[in-house]
Structure 1
Amino acid sequence: MSTVSLSSAVMTHPVREVQAAALAARLGLGGLALDPEPEGPPSALRTALVAWAARTPEAGHHLVVQDDVAAPPELLELVAGSVARFPDEALIFYTNWHARNGAAARLAALAGAGWVRAVPEEFAPTLAICLPVPAADAFRTFAAGSGERHDDEVMAAFLRAGGRSGLLAVPNVVEHIGTSSINGHAAQGVRLAVCPVGAAEARPLLERGWVLEELDWLPYMRYGEGYLRPAGCERDADPRRHLRWPEALPNTGLTESQVWEVLRRHRPEDAAAEVGRLFGDGFADELWIHCLLLGRQAEEAAWRYAARRAPEGPMAGPAARVRAAALSTVGPAGLPPERRPEVGPERATLLAAYAESAVCCGGLLLGPVAQVRGGAA
């Protein structure tokens, strides 16, 4: 593995300076990048530009971490190893559990991947992101004078302009903490990592896990309902348009009757009744169907990438733990923000088992050729 020269900075606001300093000291990160206009209108981009300018002269890569995260002591080691493997990529180490990119990472976890290409039309998560220094400098030039205050939106636009979205680490060792937001995201409620695991579970997947590059169509949830992102929608006039799953399903080759038939035959009745009692029958249906479609896409991706999976070596244990982490977050993330705090440990266990029952049925929606290839993989 080549030697990596990595610098880092923690972007923060004076109201969180003590918190940010403690984070930097705990993880061995570089200095703080303070908002240069703390009394001005909220702007994460304003602070991000300071953070990206804080790279050291000898650095080949620069890591920017936001102040409201938790991470293991091994963070810099894991980032350096990932940079050595993917020296030309924008590497993203945290992904929101409720976004399209969160759904992409969850699907990749279910398929057994270590990395997944971000969807290009959505914001690029920037709570912990590493860029090659030339890209970091180019981003500052690209963003200079922008009227946008969200650095994650500008980062996504920058990466789109370069023709390649960032790589999302499927195992998330960085976790968001708290629900407050200087930049106006508090209304989104609890916002956590999609596949939270420790450094030991993450390391083998980050170092050797295969990369899911092509997502095809992608199931995701928002505010208690299931949606589908069509393949290639980044080329549409309105690429962020939300399409409910029944509306988008015909373009996948599946029918509603197929989906409902699998649900009718295979959904566990007791679990469905309990989820419906707690969160509504509509949510119980939407969550199970969403996870069924996720399972279908995960199985399809696994056999499509079978050749890439072979060289990575034994990884069953870490992959299983990341899969379990992905299943643990799909239920709470799919709820409306105001209802997420209702999910304590017992309900989280119920939702995870309910989600797994659907994911395990995903193969029933594969065509006969895919089923044969999946079994051979």
Structure 2
Amino acid sequence: MTKVTTFHISSAVMTHPVRLAQAQDLAARLRLDGLALDPDPQGPPSALRTALVAWSAAAPGASHHLVVQDDVDAPAELLEIVARAATRFPDEALVFYTNWHARNGAAARLAALAGAGWVRAVPDEFTPSLGVCLPVDTAAAFRAYARDSTERHDDELLSVFFRGRGRMSLLAVPNIVEHIGTSSINGHAAQGIRLAACPTPAADAAPLLARGRVLEEPGWIPYMRYGEGYIRLVGQEHGADGGRGHHRWRDALPATGLTRDTIDAARAAHLPKDLAAEVARTFGDEFAQELWTHCLLLGRQAARASRGLGPLPDGVPADALDRLRNSAVATAGPAGLPPERRPEAGADEVRAMTALAWTAVHAGEGLDRGVPRTGPGRVPGGLNGPGA
């Protein structure tokens, strides 16, 4: 790869004629170069079809190309923040949005609590493609790779492409791109409200992304989906299903070095019954218990990950990092709800879920200090991977 010495970011907004006015407004407000229209808007839904147009729109002389989708919001400083990130990581694929109930969103949430500004994406899930910046040669390679694919989801094919190159994307932990609306041209409306895992204003995100630490390997990752807690295990991408299966936290515990007795003891000692009851009044006791256990595991892993990150770099404000952590914890409850229940999470409900989540995170931090490691984490069924 030719070493990049000058940086110029070109950009495009992926869109469909039904959202043309919205895309035009977005491009004008963010000073993006232009629109990439679906070349077959009457055809079967295909985000990849439009993505190929968008990734072919890199300007002559550009070092990097940014593609955003039409159903997003972002700060006026987006291009400046992306350019600084590309200068810092010239050969990386950079992702500026993570979905709050996906594994990559959970990785970003864990990294936020650990104190990182970036985290390496997991290899067994789609690449969140609402706001992605690629070096132009990588964009060209992806176009060549994807040109004849029958896949219609660009986010899925991006991950397959990155896996084949042996390096997943870097996820911005402070999300400066936010999803808006619940409609989906590509068939994702059933997922309901889909928001960023760690929404962060530009003033806080800029220094965190420019100088913040990078978490390359978070270890096993707790995540929630549809009201239940799961664990993404180290190495599970090597399984027969490509790692796309979901391990309930109870079943995955043997691979983490933790036991049910440890979890039960932590719950007995630290679960605040009043807050749990407040959450349970709206969403049920089972959800309250799952949320607390999920955040207990999250706190434990974040504390462990933070030990390998080194000191906070100069120029990274500690208060900005604290606000990032608060943002990450505040989305854990709403994201963990089943899609049909998320509209019920008003301000009071989010406040109660966040307060409950923080008690679990703090208990998990103590769990990391108090529980000796029993052995390396392994994926059930004999899959390998370094311990976490």
The TM-score normalised by the length of structure 2 is: 0.93
What corresponds to 2:109 in structure 1? 106
What corresponds to 1:344 in structure 2? 346
What corresponds to 2:383 in structure 1? none
**Paired residues of 1:210 and 1:312 also in contact (CA < 8 A):** no
Partner residue of 1:172 out of 163, 172, 175: 175
What corresponds to 2:385 in structure 1? none
- The alpha-carbon deviation at position 14 of structure 1 amounts to 0.4
Partner residue of 1:234 out of 229, 234, 237: 237
- The alpha-carbon deviation at position 197 of structure 1 amounts to 1.1
**Paired residues of 1:262 and 1:364 also in contact (CA < 8 A):** no
Work out the CA distance in 2 between the residues paired with 1:197 and 1:370: 35
Stretches of 4+ moved more than 6 A in 1?
none
What corresponds to 1:33 in structure 2? 36
Q: In structure 2, what residue type is equivalent to 1:194?
A: A
Work out the CA distance in 2 between the residues paired with 1:6 and 1:312: 27
Work out the CA distance in 2 between the residues paired with 1:207 and 1:361: 31
**Paired residues of 1:98 and 1:222 also in contact (CA < 8 A):** yes
What corresponds to 2:367 in structure 1? 365
**Paired residues of 2:116 and 2:309 also in contact (CA < 8 A):** no
SS of 2:313's partner is helix
What corresponds to 2:49 in structure 1? 46
Q: How does 1:1-377 map to 2 (within 5 A)?
A: 3-238=6-241, 239-306=243-310, 309-366=311-368, 368=370
Distance 1:209 1:2, change over 3 A: farther
What stretches of structure 2 of length at least 5 have no aligned partner?
374-388
Higher helix residue share: 1
Work out the CA distance in 1 between the residues paired with 2:370 and 2:281: 37
Aligned residues: 369
Work out the CA distance in 2 between the residues paired with 1:25 and 1:177: 17
- The alpha-carbon deviation at position 370 of structure 1 amounts to 7.5
Q: In structure 2, what residue type is equivalent to 1:305?
A: L
- The alpha-carbon deviation at position 313 of structure 1 amounts to 4.7
Q: In structure 2, what residue type is equivalent to 1:148?
A: E
SS of 2:181's partner is coil
- The alpha-carbon deviation at position 311 of structure 1 amounts to 3.5
Distance 1:127 1:241, change over 3 A: same
Q: In structure 1, what residue type is equivalent to 2:318?
A: A
Work out the CA distance in 1 between the residues paired with 2:195 and 2:312: 32
- The alpha-carbon deviation at position 4 of structure 1 amounts to 1.7
SS of 2:184's partner is coil
Q: In structure 1, what residue type is equivalent to 2:304?
A: E
What stretches of structure 1 of length at least 5 have no aligned partner?
372-377
Once the two structures are overlaid, the 10-residue window that deviates more, 180-189 or 361-370, is 361-370
Q: In structure 2, what residue type is equivalent to 1:213?
A: E
Work out the CA distance in 1 between the residues paired with 2:51 and 2:26: 17
Identity %: 64
The TM-score normalised by the length of structure 1 is: 0.96
1:56-95 residue CA offsets vs partner (Å, 9 max, x unmatched)? 0110100000000000100000000000000000000000
- The alpha-carbon deviation at position 315 of structure 1 amounts to 2.3
Work out the CA distance in 2 between the residues paired with 1:133 and 1:370: 47
Work out the CA distance in 2 between the residues paired with 1:36 and 1:170: 33
Work out the CA distance in 1 between the residues paired with 2:215 and 2:298: 14
SS of 2:217's partner is coil
SS of 2:307's partner is helix
- The alpha-carbon deviation at position 367 of structure 1 amounts to 5.2
